[in-house]
Protein backbone atom coordinates (compact mmCIF):
# COMPACT_ATOMS: atom_id res chain seq x y z
CA UNK A 1 0.00 0.00 0.00
CA UNK A 2 1.63 3.23 -1.10
CA UNK A 3 0.27 6.74 -0.89
CA UNK A 4 0.65 8.09 -4.43
CA UNK A 5 -1.43 11.25 -4.12
CA UNK A 6 -1.75 14.05 -1.60
CA UNK A 7 -5.50 14.34 -2.29
CA UNK A 8 -7.46 12.96 0.66
CA UNK A 9 -10.56 12.32 -1.45
CA UNK A 10 -8.61 10.06 -3.84
CA UNK A 11 -7.38 7.78 -1.05
CA UNK A 12 -9.11 4.79 0.56
CA UNK A 13 -9.72 4.65 4.30
CA UNK A 14 -6.92 2.11 4.86
CA UNK A 15 -4.54 4.46 3.04
CA UNK A 16 -5.59 7.39 5.23
CA UNK A 17 -5.11 5.19 8.29
CA UNK A 18 -1.64 4.26 7.02
CA UNK A 19 -0.82 7.92 6.28
CA UNK A 20 -1.71 8.91 9.83
CA UNK A 21 0.44 6.09 11.25
CA UNK A 22 3.29 7.08 8.88
CA UNK A 23 3.33 10.62 10.28
CA UNK A 24 1.05 12.55 7.94
CA UNK A 25 0.07 15.02 10.65
CA UNK A 26 -0.89 18.01 8.51
CA UNK A 27 -3.91 18.56 6.31
CA UNK A 28 -4.56 21.58 4.09
CA UNK A 29 -8.13 22.71 3.45
CA UNK A 30 -8.64 25.04 0.46
CA UNK A 31 -11.76 27.21 0.60
CA UNK A 32 -12.76 28.25 -2.92
CA UNK A 33 -15.82 29.40 -4.82
CA UNK A 34 -18.03 28.74 -7.81
CA UNK A 35 -18.51 32.16 -9.36
CA UNK A 36 -18.15 34.03 -12.60
CA UNK A 37 -14.63 34.78 -13.78
CA UNK A 38 -15.20 36.77 -16.95
CA UNK A 39 -15.73 35.48 -20.48
CA UNK A 40 -12.72 33.19 -20.43
CA UNK A 41 -12.24 31.42 -17.06
CA UNK A 42 -14.37 28.64 -15.54
CA UNK A 43 -16.65 29.24 -12.57
CA UNK A 44 -14.38 26.92 -10.55
CA UNK A 45 -11.35 29.24 -10.92
CA UNK A 46 -10.89 30.01 -7.20
CA UNK A 47 -11.40 26.33 -6.32
CA UNK A 48 -8.84 25.20 -8.92
CA UNK A 49 -6.41 27.85 -7.68
CA UNK A 50 -6.86 26.56 -4.11
CA UNK A 51 -6.26 23.00 -5.24
CA UNK A 52 -3.11 23.94 -7.22
CA UNK A 53 -1.71 25.95 -4.33
CA UNK A 54 -2.49 23.32 -1.67
CA UNK A 55 -1.00 20.53 -3.80
CA UNK A 56 2.23 22.49 -4.30
CA UNK A 57 2.39 23.33 -0.58
CA UNK A 58 1.75 19.69 0.40
CA UNK A 59 4.53 18.48 -1.90
CA UNK A 60 6.97 20.99 -0.40
CA UNK A 61 5.96 20.30 3.20
CA UNK A 62 5.97 16.49 2.89
CA UNK A 63 3.75 14.13 4.95
CA UNK A 64 0.83 16.46 4.23
CA UNK A 65 -2.58 15.75 2.69
CA UNK A 66 -5.01 18.06 0.89
CA UNK A 67 -8.69 17.90 1.93
CA UNK A 68 -11.42 18.41 -0.68
CA UNK A 69 -11.78 22.05 -1.72
CA UNK A 70 -14.72 23.54 0.16
CA UNK A 71 -17.06 25.25 -2.31
CA UNK A 72 -19.27 27.10 -3.14
CA UNK A 73 -18.16 30.16 -1.19
CA UNK A 74 -19.53 33.58 -0.27
CA UNK A 75 -20.12 35.08 -3.71
CA UNK A 76 -23.19 37.24 -3.24
CA UNK A 77 -21.63 40.12 -5.22
CA UNK A 78 -21.28 37.88 -8.30
CA UNK A 79 -24.93 36.82 -8.45
CA UNK A 80 -25.54 39.26 -11.33
CA UNK A 81 -23.74 36.74 -13.56
CA UNK A 82 -25.34 33.40 -14.52
CA UNK A 83 -23.95 30.29 -12.86
CA UNK A 84 -22.44 31.93 -9.78
CA UNK A 85 -23.40 30.10 -6.58
CA UNK A 86 -23.58 31.82 -3.22
CA UNK A 87 -23.68 30.46 0.31
CA UNK A 88 -24.12 32.73 3.32
CA UNK A 89 -21.14 33.36 5.64
CA UNK A 90 -23.01 31.35 8.33
CA UNK A 91 -23.33 28.34 6.00
CA UNK A 92 -19.70 28.50 4.92
CA UNK A 93 -18.58 28.78 8.55
CA UNK A 94 -20.71 25.74 9.47
CA UNK A 95 -19.14 23.63 6.73
CA UNK A 96 -15.60 24.76 7.62
CA UNK A 97 -16.33 24.03 11.30
CA UNK A 98 -17.64 20.52 10.62
CA UNK A 99 -14.81 19.63 8.22
CA UNK A 100 -12.25 20.77 10.82
CA UNK A 101 -13.92 18.74 13.57
CA UNK A 102 -13.91 15.68 11.27
CA UNK A 103 -10.20 16.05 10.49
CA UNK A 104 -9.49 16.62 14.19
CA UNK A 105 -11.44 13.47 15.04
CA UNK A 106 -9.22 11.39 12.75
CA UNK A 107 -6.08 12.64 14.47
CA UNK A 108 -4.52 15.24 12.19
CA UNK A 109 -2.43 17.55 14.38
CA UNK A 110 -2.26 20.56 12.08
CA UNK A 111 -5.18 21.88 10.03
CA UNK A 112 -4.41 24.75 7.69
CA UNK A 113 -7.24 26.62 5.96
CA UNK A 114 -6.39 28.17 2.59
CA UNK A 115 -9.00 30.64 1.31
CA UNK A 116 -8.48 31.61 -2.34
CA UNK A 117 -11.57 33.75 -2.83
CA UNK A 118 -11.95 37.30 -1.52
CA UNK A 119 -15.39 36.81 0.03
CA UNK A 120 -14.21 33.84 2.11
CA UNK A 121 -11.36 35.47 4.06
CA UNK A 122 -13.53 37.15 6.71
CA UNK A 123 -15.82 34.17 7.49
CA UNK A 124 -12.82 31.79 7.51
CA UNK A 125 -10.96 34.08 9.94
CA UNK A 126 -14.05 34.31 12.18
CA UNK A 127 -14.70 30.56 12.33
CA UNK A 128 -10.98 29.88 12.89
CA UNK A 129 -11.01 32.09 15.98
CA UNK A 130 -14.19 30.44 17.20
CA UNK A 131 -13.18 26.79 16.88
CA UNK A 132 -9.39 26.83 17.33
CA UNK A 133 -9.67 26.60 21.14
CA UNK A 134 -12.09 23.64 20.84
CA UNK A 135 -9.88 21.43 18.65
CA UNK A 136 -7.09 19.12 19.72
CA UNK A 137 -5.38 20.01 16.41
CA UNK A 138 -3.65 23.32 15.78
CA UNK A 139 -5.80 25.34 13.40
CA UNK A 140 -4.61 28.32 11.36
CA UNK A 141 -5.94 30.23 8.36
CA UNK A 142 -3.59 31.50 5.69
CA UNK A 143 -3.31 34.85 4.05
CA UNK A 144 -5.43 37.77 3.08
CA UNK A 145 -6.68 38.98 -0.30
CA UNK A 146 -4.26 41.90 -0.68
CA UNK A 147 -1.15 39.82 0.00
CA UNK A 148 -2.31 37.24 -2.57
CA UNK A 149 -2.86 39.94 -5.20
CA UNK A 150 0.49 41.51 -4.19
CA UNK A 151 2.38 38.28 -4.88
CA UNK A 152 0.60 37.85 -8.23
CA UNK A 153 1.58 41.42 -9.17
CA UNK A 154 5.19 40.86 -8.11
CA UNK A 155 5.43 37.73 -10.28
CA UNK A 156 3.66 39.44 -13.20
CA UNK A 157 6.09 42.37 -13.23
CA UNK A 158 9.07 39.96 -13.13
CA UNK A 159 7.62 38.24 -16.20
CA UNK A 160 7.08 41.51 -18.10
CA UNK A 161 3.31 41.79 -17.49
CA UNK A 162 2.09 45.26 -16.40
CA UNK A 163 1.13 45.43 -12.72
CA UNK A 164 -2.28 46.99 -13.57
CA UNK A 165 -3.20 43.86 -15.55
CA UNK A 166 -3.38 42.01 -12.21
CA UNK A 167 -6.48 43.81 -11.00
CA UNK A 168 -7.68 41.05 -8.68
CA UNK A 169 -10.43 39.17 -10.50
CA UNK A 170 -10.20 37.02 -13.64
CA UNK A 171 -7.16 39.21 -14.35
CA UNK A 172 -3.64 38.41 -15.59
CA UNK A 173 -3.06 36.88 -12.14
CA UNK A 174 -5.84 34.32 -11.94
CA UNK A 175 -5.73 33.66 -15.68
CA UNK A 176 -1.98 32.92 -15.62
CA UNK A 177 -2.48 30.57 -12.66
CA UNK A 178 -5.24 28.59 -14.41
CA UNK A 179 -3.10 28.54 -17.61
CA UNK A 180 -0.40 26.88 -15.50
CA UNK A 181 -2.72 24.40 -13.76
CA UNK A 182 -5.65 23.67 -16.10
CA UNK A 183 -4.94 25.23 -19.52
CA UNK A 184 -7.72 23.10 -21.00
CA UNK A 185 -10.26 25.29 -19.17
CA UNK A 186 -9.01 28.71 -20.33
CA UNK A 187 -10.60 30.34 -23.36
CA UNK A 188 -7.84 32.83 -24.23
CA UNK A 189 -9.63 33.96 -27.43
CA UNK A 190 -12.52 35.24 -25.27
CA UNK A 191 -10.37 37.40 -22.94
CA UNK A 192 -11.64 40.94 -22.48
CA UNK A 193 -10.24 43.65 -20.19
CA UNK A 194 -12.31 44.77 -17.24
CA UNK A 195 -12.28 47.54 -14.66
CA UNK A 196 -8.78 49.08 -14.74
CA UNK A 197 -8.96 51.61 -11.88
CA UNK A 198 -7.37 51.16 -8.45
CA UNK A 199 -8.60 48.17 -6.43
CA UNK A 200 -11.97 48.98 -4.93
CA UNK A 201 -14.37 47.19 -2.62
CA UNK A 202 -17.32 49.05 -4.17
CA UNK A 203 -18.44 45.72 -5.65
CA UNK A 204 -19.28 44.57 -2.12
CA UNK A 205 -21.95 47.27 -1.88
CA UNK A 206 -23.16 47.57 -5.47
CA UNK A 207 -22.49 44.15 -6.95
CA UNK A 208 -19.61 43.19 -9.21
CA UNK A 209 -21.47 43.96 -12.44
CA UNK A 210 -21.77 47.63 -11.45
CA UNK A 211 -17.96 47.86 -11.26
CA UNK A 212 -17.21 45.61 -14.24
CA UNK A 213 -19.81 44.50 -16.79
CA UNK A 214 -17.32 41.93 -18.19
CA UNK A 215 -16.85 40.40 -14.72
CA UNK A 216 -13.12 41.19 -14.82
CA UNK A 217 -10.96 43.50 -12.68
CA UNK A 218 -7.67 43.95 -14.53
CA UNK A 219 -6.68 42.67 -17.95
CA UNK A 220 -6.31 38.94 -18.64
CA UNK A 221 -4.88 39.36 -22.17
CA UNK A 222 -1.14 39.38 -21.28
CA UNK A 223 -1.46 36.20 -19.14
CA UNK A 224 1.07 33.39 -19.58
CA UNK A 225 1.54 29.90 -18.18
CA UNK A 226 5.09 30.83 -17.09
CA UNK A 227 3.83 33.81 -15.07
CA UNK A 228 1.22 31.52 -13.48
CA UNK A 229 3.92 29.05 -12.46
CA UNK A 230 5.92 31.85 -10.83
CA UNK A 231 2.79 33.11 -9.02
CA UNK A 232 2.05 29.67 -7.57
CA UNK A 233 5.70 29.38 -6.53
CA UNK A 234 5.81 32.80 -4.84
CA UNK A 235 2.52 32.32 -2.99
CA UNK A 236 3.66 28.85 -1.88
CA UNK A 237 6.88 30.34 -0.47
CA UNK A 238 4.94 33.10 1.31
CA UNK A 239 2.64 30.52 2.90
CA UNK A 240 5.52 28.19 3.85
CA UNK A 241 7.09 31.07 5.76
CA UNK A 242 3.76 31.89 7.44
CA UNK A 243 3.13 28.23 8.34
CA UNK A 244 6.60 27.94 9.92
CA UNK A 245 6.00 31.13 11.87
CA UNK A 246 2.54 30.01 13.08
CA UNK A 247 3.22 26.33 13.73
CA UNK A 248 6.96 26.17 14.30
ZN1 LIG B 1 -11.13 34.41 -8.36
Task: Give residue 160 CA to ligand 1 midpoint distance, Å.
Answer: 22
Residue 203 has pLDDT above 90, yes or no: no
Report pLDDT for 171.
98
| φ and ψ at residue 224, rounded to 5 degrees | -140, 155
Taking the C-alpha atoms of residue 147 and residue 150, their distance in angstroms, rounded to an integer, is 5
Task: Give residue 132 CA to ligand 1 midpoint distance, Å.
Answer: 27
Report pLDDT for 91.
98
Task: Give residue 3 CA to ligand 1 midpoint distance, Å.
Answer: 31
Secondary element (H or E) of residue 112? strand 110-115
**β-bridge mates for residue 111, sequence order:** 27, 139
CA 172 vs CA 79, 209, 224: distances in Å: 23, 19, 8
Task: Give residue 49 CA to ligand 1 midpoint distance, Å.
Answer: 8
Task: Give residue 144 CA to ligand 1 midpoint distance, Å.
Answer: 13
Report pLDDT for 124.
98
Task: Give residue 206 CA to ligand 1 midpoint distance, Å.
Answer: 18
Taking the C-alpha atoms of residue 203 and residue 207, their distance in angstroms, rounded to an integer, is 5
Q: Among 22-36, 84-98, 197-211, 226-240, which stretch is predicted with the lowest mean pLDDT?
A: 197-211
Domain residue spans in the chain?
8-243
Report pLDDT for 201.
82
Task: Give residue 182 CA to ligand 1 midpoint distance, Å.
Answer: 14
Radius of gyration of the chain (CA): 18
pTM score:
0.96
Task: Give residue 170 CA to ligand 1 midpoint distance, Å.
Answer: 6
Task: Give residue 150 CA to ligand 1 midpoint distance, Å.
Answer: 14
Does the domain at residues 8-243 carry the CATH identifier 3.20.20.70? no
Taking the C-alpha atoms of residue 85 and residue 77, their distance in angstroms, rounded to an integer, is 10
Give the model confidence (pLDDT) of 27-82 as tens digits: 999 999 999 999 999 999 999 999 999 999 999 999 999 999 999 999 999 999 99
Percentage of the chain beyond pLDDT 70 is: 100
Task: Give residue 20 CA to ligand 1 midpoint distance, Å.
Answer: 33
Give the model confidence (pLDDT) of 10-21 as tens digits: 999 999 999 999
Amino acid sequence: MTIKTVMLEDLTWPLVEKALIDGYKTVLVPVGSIEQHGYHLPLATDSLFGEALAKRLAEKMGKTLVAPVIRPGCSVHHMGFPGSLDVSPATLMSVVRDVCFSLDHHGFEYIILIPTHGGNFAPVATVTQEIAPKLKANLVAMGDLMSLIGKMQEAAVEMGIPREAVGGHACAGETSIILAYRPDLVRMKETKPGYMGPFTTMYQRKGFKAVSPTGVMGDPRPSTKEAGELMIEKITEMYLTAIKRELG
